[in-house]
Amino acid sequence: MSTYPPAPFPRKGVTPVQPRKAQLPVYWLMVSLALSLPAHADRLPLPADAPPSFTAECGGCHLPFPPALLTAPDWNRVMAQLERHYGDNASLDAKTRREIEGFLQRHAATRSRMKGAGDPPRLTRTEWFLREHRKVPEAAWRDGQVNSAANCAACHTRAEEGSFREREIRMPRLK
pLDDT means per 10 residues in the chain (175 residues)? 56 59 58 46 84 92 90 93 90 95 94 83 90 91 90 92 90 78
Pair 54, 81 in one domain: yes
**143-146: long-range pairs with CB below 8 Å, 24+:** 143/172, 143/174, 143/175, 144/175, 145/172, 145/175, 146/172
Cross-strand bridge partners of residue 122: 117
Is pTM, for the whole model, over 0.75?
no
pLDDT for 118 equals: 82
One domain, residues 118 and 145:
no
pLDDT of residue 11: 58
In a domain, 34, yes or no: no
Domain boundary among 97, 123, 149: 123
31 within domain boundaries = no
Q: Give the pLDDT score at 37.
A: 41
Distance of CA 7 to the CA centre of its chain: 50
- Give domain status of residue 70, yes or no: yes
Do 98 and 138 fall into the same domain? no
Q: Is 10 domain-assigned?
A: no
Whether residue 169 sits in one domain with residue 105: no
Tell me the Cα Rg of the chain: 24
Task: Tell me how long the chain is.
Answer: 175
Note whether 139 and 113 are same-domain residues.
Answer: no
Q: Which domain, by its residues, includes 153?
A: 133-175
Amino acid at 72: A
**39 lies in a domain?**
no
- Number of domains within the chain: 2
User: Does a structural domain hold residue 16?
Assistant: no
